[in-house]
Protein backbone atom coordinates (compact mmCIF):
# COMPACT_ATOMS: atom_id res chain seq x y z
CA UNK A 1 0.00 0.00 0.00
CA UNK A 2 1.20 3.53 -0.79
CA UNK A 3 1.04 6.00 2.07
CA UNK A 4 0.23 9.66 1.62
CA UNK A 5 3.18 12.05 1.80
CA UNK A 6 3.30 14.02 5.01
CA UNK A 7 4.79 17.31 3.75
CA UNK A 8 8.48 18.18 3.89
CA UNK A 9 8.98 18.27 7.66
CA UNK A 10 11.16 15.16 7.83
CA UNK A 11 13.07 15.58 4.56
CA UNK A 12 16.42 16.42 6.20
CA UNK A 13 16.10 13.59 8.73
CA UNK A 14 15.26 11.10 6.00
CA UNK A 15 18.33 12.28 4.09
CA UNK A 16 20.55 11.53 7.09
CA UNK A 17 19.00 8.08 7.47
CA UNK A 18 19.55 7.38 3.76
CA UNK A 19 23.29 7.81 4.34
CA UNK A 20 23.17 5.47 7.35
CA UNK A 21 21.32 2.84 5.32
CA UNK A 22 24.40 2.45 3.10
CA UNK A 23 26.27 0.98 6.06
CA UNK A 24 23.72 -1.70 6.90
CA UNK A 25 25.09 -5.19 6.34
CA UNK A 26 23.86 -7.24 3.42
CA UNK A 27 23.22 -10.97 3.63
CA UNK A 28 26.52 -11.87 1.94
CA UNK A 29 28.52 -10.06 4.61
CA UNK A 30 26.50 -11.59 7.45
CA UNK A 31 27.05 -15.01 5.92
CA UNK A 32 30.80 -14.32 5.91
CA UNK A 33 30.57 -13.55 9.64
CA UNK A 34 28.75 -16.86 10.13
CA UNK A 35 31.69 -18.61 8.46
CA UNK A 36 34.21 -17.14 10.93
CA UNK A 37 36.12 -19.64 13.04
CA UNK A 38 34.91 -18.26 16.38
CA UNK A 39 33.35 -15.25 18.11
CA UNK A 40 36.71 -13.46 18.42
CA UNK A 41 37.15 -13.58 14.66
CA UNK A 42 33.63 -12.17 14.23
CA UNK A 43 34.53 -9.21 16.45
CA UNK A 44 37.80 -8.75 14.53
CA UNK A 45 35.80 -8.57 11.31
CA UNK A 46 33.38 -6.06 12.83
CA UNK A 47 36.40 -3.90 13.76
CA UNK A 48 36.82 -3.23 10.03
CA UNK A 49 33.28 -1.83 9.73
CA UNK A 50 31.29 1.08 11.16
CA UNK A 51 31.09 -0.89 14.43
CA UNK A 52 34.82 -0.26 15.06
CA UNK A 53 34.29 2.86 17.19
CA UNK A 54 32.29 0.85 19.73
CA UNK A 55 35.09 -1.65 20.39
CA UNK A 56 36.87 -0.44 23.50
CA UNK A 57 38.96 -3.52 24.18
CA UNK A 58 40.93 -6.13 22.21
CA UNK A 59 38.65 -8.62 20.37
CA UNK A 60 39.44 -11.48 22.74
CA UNK A 61 38.32 -9.34 25.72
CA UNK A 62 35.48 -7.40 24.11
CA UNK A 63 31.92 -8.08 25.23
CA UNK A 64 29.89 -8.04 22.03
CA UNK A 65 26.88 -6.67 23.94
CA UNK A 66 28.78 -3.42 24.48
CA UNK A 67 29.36 -3.12 20.75
CA UNK A 68 25.65 -3.56 20.04
CA UNK A 69 24.73 -1.14 22.82
CA UNK A 70 27.18 1.47 21.49
CA UNK A 71 25.67 1.26 18.03
CA UNK A 72 22.13 1.63 19.36
CA UNK A 73 23.04 4.62 21.51
CA UNK A 74 24.47 6.30 18.42
CA UNK A 75 21.21 5.69 16.52
CA UNK A 76 19.13 6.89 19.49
CA UNK A 77 21.15 10.11 19.78
CA UNK A 78 20.68 10.79 16.08
CA UNK A 79 16.91 10.35 16.42
CA UNK A 80 16.83 12.75 19.39
CA UNK A 81 18.02 15.44 16.98
CA UNK A 82 15.06 14.79 14.65
CA UNK A 83 11.83 16.76 15.06
CA UNK A 84 9.70 13.64 15.40
CA UNK A 85 6.13 13.72 16.62
CA UNK A 86 5.74 12.45 20.20
CA UNK A 87 3.64 9.47 19.07
CA UNK A 88 6.35 8.40 16.61
CA UNK A 89 9.04 8.57 19.29
CA UNK A 90 6.81 6.64 21.66
CA UNK A 91 6.10 4.00 19.01
CA UNK A 92 9.79 3.54 18.23
CA UNK A 93 11.42 3.58 21.64
CA UNK A 94 8.81 2.20 24.07
CA UNK A 95 9.75 -1.16 22.53
CA UNK A 96 12.96 -0.96 24.55
CA UNK A 97 11.09 -0.19 27.77
CA UNK A 98 9.32 -3.50 27.10
CA UNK A 99 12.61 -5.23 26.28
CA UNK A 100 14.33 -3.96 29.44
CA UNK A 101 11.33 -4.63 31.69
CA UNK A 102 11.17 -8.27 30.58
CA UNK A 103 14.89 -8.76 31.22
CA UNK A 104 14.62 -7.22 34.69
CA UNK A 105 11.55 -9.26 35.61
CA UNK A 106 13.31 -12.47 34.56
CA UNK A 107 16.31 -11.37 36.61
CA UNK A 108 14.05 -10.87 39.64
CA UNK A 109 12.14 -14.13 39.44
CA UNK A 110 14.60 -16.52 37.78
CA UNK A 111 18.01 -15.16 38.85
CA UNK A 112 18.97 -14.50 35.23
CA UNK A 113 21.75 -11.93 35.03
CA UNK A 114 20.50 -8.72 33.38
CA UNK A 115 23.38 -8.27 30.94
CA UNK A 116 21.40 -7.49 27.78
CA UNK A 117 19.87 -4.17 28.87
CA UNK A 118 19.76 -1.34 26.31
CA UNK A 119 19.36 2.16 27.73
CA UNK A 120 17.63 3.59 24.65
CA UNK A 121 13.97 3.45 25.68
CA UNK A 122 11.74 6.23 27.00
CA UNK A 123 12.40 5.15 30.60
CA UNK A 124 15.93 5.25 32.02
CA UNK A 125 17.22 1.76 32.82
CA UNK A 126 18.26 2.73 36.34
CA UNK A 127 14.73 3.92 37.05
CA UNK A 128 13.33 0.63 35.74
CA UNK A 129 15.78 -1.29 37.95
CA UNK A 130 14.65 0.64 41.01
CA UNK A 131 10.99 0.03 40.19
CA UNK A 132 11.20 -3.66 39.24
CA UNK A 133 14.07 -4.99 41.33
CA UNK A 134 13.75 -2.82 44.46
CA UNK A 135 9.99 -2.14 44.51
CA UNK A 136 10.55 1.61 44.84
CA UNK A 137 7.41 3.72 44.58
CA UNK A 138 8.14 5.72 41.41
CA UNK A 139 6.09 7.58 38.83
CA UNK A 140 6.38 5.37 35.76
CA UNK A 141 4.41 4.56 32.59
CA UNK A 142 0.99 3.12 33.47
CA UNK A 143 1.33 0.13 31.13
CA UNK A 144 4.57 -0.86 32.88
CA UNK A 145 2.82 -0.58 36.27
CA UNK A 146 -0.09 -2.73 35.08
CA UNK A 147 2.19 -5.32 33.47
CA UNK A 148 4.54 -5.63 36.45
CA UNK A 149 1.58 -5.92 38.83
CA UNK A 150 0.12 -8.76 36.74
CA UNK A 151 3.52 -10.50 36.54
CA UNK A 152 3.95 -10.34 40.31
CA UNK A 153 0.56 -11.98 40.79
CA UNK A 154 1.26 -14.62 38.12
CA UNK A 155 4.66 -15.47 39.62
CA UNK A 156 2.94 -16.48 42.85
CA UNK A 157 1.84 -19.66 41.05
CA UNK A 158 3.97 -19.84 37.88
CA UNK A 159 7.58 -20.84 37.40
CA UNK A 160 7.63 -20.14 33.66
CA UNK A 161 9.50 -17.16 32.19
CA UNK A 162 7.26 -17.31 29.11
CA UNK A 163 4.45 -15.91 31.26
CA UNK A 164 6.49 -12.74 31.74
CA UNK A 165 6.87 -12.34 27.99
CA UNK A 166 3.18 -12.88 27.31
CA UNK A 167 1.90 -10.54 30.01
CA UNK A 168 4.29 -7.70 29.20
CA UNK A 169 3.89 -8.07 25.43
CA UNK A 170 0.12 -7.79 25.76
CA UNK A 171 0.28 -4.69 27.99
CA UNK A 172 2.73 -3.07 25.57
CA UNK A 173 0.47 -3.71 22.56
CA UNK A 174 -2.60 -2.42 24.40
CA UNK A 175 -0.63 0.74 25.20
CA UNK A 176 0.48 1.08 21.58
CA UNK A 177 -3.16 0.83 20.46
CA UNK A 178 -3.92 3.96 22.47
CA UNK A 179 -0.89 5.81 21.09
CA UNK A 180 -1.61 4.92 17.48
CA UNK A 181 -5.35 5.60 17.68
CA UNK A 182 -4.63 9.20 18.66
CA UNK A 183 -1.93 9.68 16.01
CA UNK A 184 -4.14 9.59 12.91
CA UNK A 185 -1.49 7.79 10.85
CA UNK A 186 -2.65 5.09 8.43
CA UNK A 187 0.89 3.73 8.24
CA UNK A 188 1.30 3.40 12.03
CA UNK A 189 -2.15 1.84 12.26
CA UNK A 190 -1.28 -0.77 9.60
CA UNK A 191 2.12 -1.44 11.15
CA UNK A 192 0.64 -1.96 14.61
CA UNK A 193 -2.10 -4.16 13.18
CA UNK A 194 0.63 -6.32 11.64
CA UNK A 195 2.51 -6.42 14.96
CA UNK A 196 -0.67 -7.56 16.71
CA UNK A 197 -1.31 -10.23 14.08
CA UNK A 198 2.20 -11.62 14.47
CA UNK A 199 1.99 -11.57 18.27
CA UNK A 200 -1.36 -13.38 18.17
CA UNK A 201 -0.11 -16.00 15.69
CA UNK A 202 3.05 -16.72 17.70
CA UNK A 203 1.18 -16.80 21.00
CA UNK A 204 -1.58 -19.00 19.59
CA UNK A 205 0.95 -21.57 18.30
CA UNK A 206 2.95 -21.50 21.51
CA UNK A 207 -0.09 -22.01 23.75
CA UNK A 208 -1.79 -24.46 21.39
CA UNK A 209 1.25 -26.72 21.72
CA UNK A 210 0.77 -26.57 25.50
CA UNK A 211 -2.89 -27.55 25.12
CA UNK A 212 -4.11 -24.63 27.23
CA UNK A 213 -7.76 -23.93 27.95
CA UNK A 214 -9.72 -21.48 25.79
CA UNK A 215 -9.94 -18.94 28.65
CA UNK A 216 -6.15 -18.80 29.01
CA UNK A 217 -5.75 -17.98 25.32
CA UNK A 218 -8.54 -15.38 25.41
CA UNK A 219 -6.86 -13.57 28.29
CA UNK A 220 -3.49 -13.20 26.60
CA UNK A 221 -4.34 -12.46 22.95
CA UNK A 222 -4.87 -8.88 21.72
CA UNK A 223 -7.82 -7.54 19.73
CA UNK A 224 -7.06 -5.17 16.86
CA UNK A 225 -5.44 -7.50 14.36
CA UNK A 226 -6.90 -8.77 11.11
CA UNK A 227 -8.42 -11.77 12.92
CA UNK A 228 -10.52 -11.61 16.07
CA UNK A 229 -9.53 -13.53 19.19
CA UNK A 230 -12.47 -15.88 18.59
CA UNK A 231 -10.77 -17.15 15.41
CA UNK A 232 -7.76 -18.34 17.39
CA UNK A 233 -9.77 -19.84 20.23
CA UNK A 234 -11.89 -21.65 17.64
CA UNK A 235 -8.73 -23.21 16.18
CA UNK A 236 -7.35 -24.45 19.52
CA UNK A 237 -8.48 -28.02 18.89
CA UNK A 238 -7.60 -28.03 15.19
CA UNK A 239 -4.77 -30.04 13.66
CA UNK A 240 -1.75 -28.22 12.24
CA UNK A 241 -2.99 -29.00 8.74
CA UNK A 242 -6.37 -27.45 9.52
CA UNK A 243 -4.68 -24.31 10.88
CA UNK A 244 -2.52 -24.04 7.77
CA UNK A 245 -5.58 -24.44 5.54
CA UNK A 246 -7.46 -21.74 7.43
CA UNK A 247 -4.66 -19.20 6.91
CA UNK A 248 -3.80 -20.38 3.39
CA UNK A 249 -5.44 -17.49 1.54
CA UNK A 250 -4.48 -14.78 4.03
CA UNK A 251 -1.42 -12.54 4.18
CA UNK A 252 0.09 -15.01 6.67
CA UNK A 253 -0.46 -18.17 4.65
CA UNK A 254 3.17 -18.91 3.81
CA UNK A 255 4.37 -17.82 7.26
CA UNK A 256 2.00 -20.28 8.91
CA UNK A 257 2.80 -23.07 6.47
CA UNK A 258 6.58 -22.72 6.82
CA UNK A 259 6.72 -21.84 10.51
CA UNK A 260 4.17 -24.02 12.26
CA UNK A 261 6.59 -26.94 12.63
CA UNK A 262 9.04 -25.14 14.95
CA UNK A 263 8.81 -22.05 17.13
CA UNK A 264 12.20 -20.67 16.07
CA UNK A 265 10.94 -20.71 12.48
CA UNK A 266 7.81 -18.72 13.26
CA UNK A 267 9.92 -16.19 15.21
CA UNK A 268 12.29 -15.74 12.28
CA UNK A 269 9.51 -15.55 9.70
CA UNK A 270 7.63 -13.00 11.82
CA UNK A 271 10.76 -10.82 11.96
CA UNK A 272 11.15 -11.17 8.20
CA UNK A 273 7.50 -10.32 7.60
CA UNK A 274 7.56 -7.12 9.65
CA UNK A 275 10.81 -6.02 8.02
CA UNK A 276 9.28 -6.52 4.58
CA UNK A 277 6.36 -4.34 5.64
CA UNK A 278 8.72 -1.63 6.92
CA UNK A 279 10.85 -1.85 3.78
CA UNK A 280 7.82 -0.98 1.65
CA UNK A 281 8.06 2.68 2.75
CA UNK A 282 11.84 3.16 2.60
CA UNK A 283 11.58 5.24 -0.58
CA UNK A 284 9.10 7.76 0.84
CA UNK A 285 10.97 11.05 0.73
CA UNK A 286 9.38 13.41 3.22
CA UNK A 287 7.23 11.47 5.70
CA UNK A 288 8.39 9.88 8.97
CA UNK A 289 7.84 6.35 7.61
CA UNK A 290 11.46 5.77 6.42
CA UNK A 291 12.67 6.80 9.88
CA UNK A 292 10.61 4.00 11.40
CA UNK A 293 11.71 1.58 8.70
CA UNK A 294 15.39 2.24 9.48
CA UNK A 295 14.91 1.37 13.15
CA UNK A 296 13.26 -1.91 12.14
CA UNK A 297 16.21 -2.55 9.82
CA UNK A 298 18.63 -1.96 12.71
CA UNK A 299 16.65 -4.37 14.89
CA UNK A 300 17.00 -7.16 12.35
CA UNK A 301 20.72 -6.46 11.93
CA UNK A 302 21.13 -6.61 15.71
CA UNK A 303 19.28 -9.94 15.84
CA UNK A 304 21.47 -11.29 13.05
CA UNK A 305 24.67 -10.27 14.86
CA UNK A 306 23.47 -11.74 18.15
CA UNK A 307 22.53 -15.02 16.47
CA UNK A 308 25.95 -15.22 14.80
CA UNK A 309 28.04 -14.45 17.90
CA UNK A 310 25.93 -16.52 20.28
CA UNK A 311 26.00 -19.33 17.72
CA UNK A 312 29.81 -19.20 17.71
CA UNK A 313 29.93 -19.17 21.50
CA UNK A 314 27.79 -22.31 21.68
CA UNK A 315 29.55 -24.13 18.85
CA UNK A 316 26.76 -24.05 16.26
CA UNK A 317 27.87 -24.89 12.67
CA UNK A 318 27.66 -22.04 10.10
CA UNK A 319 24.77 -23.66 8.20
CA UNK A 320 22.71 -23.80 11.39
CA UNK A 321 23.40 -20.13 12.15
CA UNK A 322 22.52 -19.01 8.61
CA UNK A 323 19.25 -20.92 8.65
CA UNK A 324 18.10 -19.02 11.73
CA UNK A 325 19.35 -15.61 10.65
CA UNK A 326 16.65 -13.00 9.98
CA UNK A 327 16.38 -11.21 6.66
CA UNK A 328 18.14 -7.89 6.20
CA UNK A 329 17.04 -4.51 4.90
CA UNK A 330 19.48 -4.09 2.01
- For residue 146, pLDDT beyond 80: yes
Please, which residues have CB within 8 angstroms of residue 140's CB and are 6 or more apart in sequence?
123, 127, 128, 131
- For residue 242, pLDDT beyond 80: yes
- For residue 8, pLDDT beyond 70: no
Q: How far apart are alpha carbons 197 and 208 in whole angstroms? A: 16
Confidence at 42, pLDDT banded by 50, 70, 90: very high
* Residue closest to 272 by CA, chosen among 243, 226, 303, 246: 303
> Phi and psi (nearest 5°) for 293?
-60, -40
Confidence at 261, pLDDT banded by 50, 70, 90: confident
Please, which residues have CB within 8 angstroms of residue 92's CB and are 6 or more apart in sequence?
79, 84, 291, 292, 295
Instruction: Give the distance from CA 32 to its chain's centroid.
Output: 24
Cβ atoms of 55 and 47 within 8 Å: the answer is: yes
Structure confidence by residue, pLDDT tens digits, 113-124: 898 899 999 999
Structure confidence by residue, pLDDT tens digits, 177-225: 999 999 989 999 999 999 999 999 999 999 999 999 999 999 999 999 9
pLDDT of residue 284: 83
pLDDT of residue 7: 56
**Residue 324 exposed, middle or buried by CB count within 10 Å (0-12, 13-18, 19+):** middle
* Residue closest to 307 by CA, chosen among 30, 120, 69: 30
pLDDT of residue 285: 76
Structural domains of the chain, with CATH: 1-83+288-330 (1.10.132.50), 86-182 (1.20.1690), 193-283 (no CATH)
Q: How far is CA 282 from CA 20, 80, 88, 325, 330, in A?
A: 13, 20, 16, 22, 11
Task: Give this prediction's pTM.
Answer: 0.93
- Between vectors from CA 101 to CA 98 and to CA 104, what angle results, nearest 5°? 150
- For residue 5, pLDDT beyond 90: no
Structure confidence by residue, pLDDT tens digits, 85-125: 999 999 999 999 999 999 999 999 999 889 889 999 999 99
Amino acid sequence: MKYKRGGTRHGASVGRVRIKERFLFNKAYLYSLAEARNSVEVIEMLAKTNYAKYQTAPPELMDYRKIIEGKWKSVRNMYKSFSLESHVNCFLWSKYDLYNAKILLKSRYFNIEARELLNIGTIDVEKLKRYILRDENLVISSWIVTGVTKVKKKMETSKDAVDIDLIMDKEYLEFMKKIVSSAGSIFLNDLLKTEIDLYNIKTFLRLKAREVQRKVLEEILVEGGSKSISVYTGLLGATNEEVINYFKNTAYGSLMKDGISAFWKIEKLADDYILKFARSVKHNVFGFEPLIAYVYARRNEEKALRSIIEGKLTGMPPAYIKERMPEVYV
